Chain A
Amino acid sequence: MSSPSTSDVHAPQREHGHPGLALDGVGRSFGAVHAVKDVTLRFVAGERHAVLGPNGAGKTTLFNLITGDLLPSAGQIALGGTDVTTLKPHIRVRQGLRRTYQQSQLFETMSVADNLFLALRGVARGHLTLIPTSGDQVLRDQAADIAEKVNLLDAFDYPVNVLSYGQQRQLEIGMALVGDPQVVLFDEPAAGLSPAERGSLVDLIEALPRTLTIGLVEHDLDIALRLSDRVTIMQDGQVMVTGTPDDIAADPVVQRIYLGAQHG
């Protein structure tokens, strides 16, 4: 455990150049399927890092491993300098980790307000408060701020199951922006959105604070390259190449495996 990469892992998160998120030899298999294989990757604090690759490349599985939705079968994951490999998802959230899901995971019967309220409560104290309190109003106000940010103020008091698909995707994003996030992982946030909705999504992500570490899985290559400082290409569960958007756009391997799969 004395390799240079592990000393990186334990460095403080906010120091420039040190990883906000570090994966070392991370792997996960489902039976015979190696969804993620020996992935070593850094999400440096404050960087916007796109993870691209064809369907089934293991992008979502990688995010699930980072958030603790799945446990890795191999390797270590460190968040802000702390080893979180075996921690439960609700513990990792306390370290500022947030995510959106490729397939919306929302509280269907509850209102937009309550969904956001709960997301805020989840990262605050008072989980076991058994009666409504005056403090709830503070969180409700904050929920309204986030709803405004993701364009859902009109739908604030409507249950999720009457929202349009696009609105549900916006809420999915709002859920990940609550509290004081350090690392936010977006899993195909633009999938299924109209061009106009995509535009405002891009604006929203671009306007997020630069101190925030962002992981982004996105099939829309233009959006991905535009939003990111660094790009990693995955295939068959493995990292093929990591580089700047310009490098990636020019990389012959990418042309072949990714762009080929997309446009060919």
Chain B
Amino acid sequence: MAMPEQEPDVRKRNFLEVPTGYTMAMAQEEAARCLQCRKPGCVAGCPVSVDIPGFIGLISEGDMTGAIRNLWSKNALPAVCGRVCPQETQCEAKCIVGKKGDPVAIGNLERFCADYEREHGTGELPPVQPATGKKVAVIGAGPSGLTVAGDLITKGHDVTIFEAFHKAGGVLVYGIPEFRLPKAIVAQEVNFLERLGVKVQCNAVVGRTITLDELFEQGFDAIYVGVGAGLPRFMNIPGENLVGVLSANEYLTRANLMKAYEFPKVDTPIPRAKNVTVLGAGNVAMDAARTAMRLGADKVRIVYRRSRDEMPARIDEIHHAEEEGIEFFLLTNPTRYLGNEKGRLTGMTCLKMELGEPDDSGRRRPVPIEGSEFDLECDLCIVAVGSGANPLLTSDTPDMVLNKWGYVHADPRTGKTTKKGVWAGGDIVTGAATVILAMGAGRQAADSIHDYLTLGW
């Protein structure tokens, strides 16, 4: 069952969450569609192996406390995952019901459970194992770090998270917009971990304020590095430093972490543009485009050099963007930015492209069409073409081996790095990926860290 949503014309000018949530009756009706398979494909499709038939069964029975406890046993962040996981390519893609018609709306049900607990729950915490006396440092309070912290605290270890920003959540607070993931919900999930005993130390830039070796000297027995990718890529075309060209990281951090959409009630400003271009077609590009629309733009255009089929964003996000009036300039590639005498952006020159032979990624390579240049007017351009590895921590840790792109080399099954007692996972290992994949990496590393702390390997 689809979740009710705010109407496109209304929501495109506010920052409230787009889907408004199930009622108990809707949730139970949807839960009843689950076949309770003996060998559930959905669980295999989940990077953190949530017991999907289990928690859905408990919703059917009306046992909401049981349902949330069941979720928590595998996933410390259900309110987040219910909202931002790409279920259509994971659990829901494997759902038998989906073979004929719509699959069970697993993501919606997960979200409902977490929201129900937040609004009506008993607040009763899941059980925690007796203290082991072992100390673990988690670097980065994003999805993978929070997962590691949640897993290890319940196993009885003493966990401290070190976060560079002034607020915990990583991409969940600086990247994903309020209308897709309300920040109060992220705060609640972090608070859940704190109630379990996790310590969160913000404003701690590991690599600058403190190093990994110093953490070991302070008595930490193991360290998990989940610092994210976080170095914005630009197009490297002329005019990129004009005022009005921003990385999606900057634009979204201003809007989300600094709440600049409330300016001047808050002190951090954000460009309020009428005519916005967003480069790229991933989820971050959709987030940036929809944020620009909500900040009052007349026109928001996505410019992407490949075709619709290659757009990396979730189908849902593309659909939401289209409903809100975002225009798509596909097979289009900017070649230079245009500016005025004040150094401000006024537009960009683009080339039309056509698809040629497949490239290394297996996708058909976009090839410029000669003589197809045209100018596009805009007073704000948000560059959302991916990110690279941030060297802040790694350059300070010479005995941790990196790959040629600067990402941390880690064992794909355990997350072990080449430095003793240090694990890594999430975007700093794989490059920019999804929240749930980072959480999956966190889960694997947490298991491996637990073995190391209890068995010694």
A and B together in one complex? no
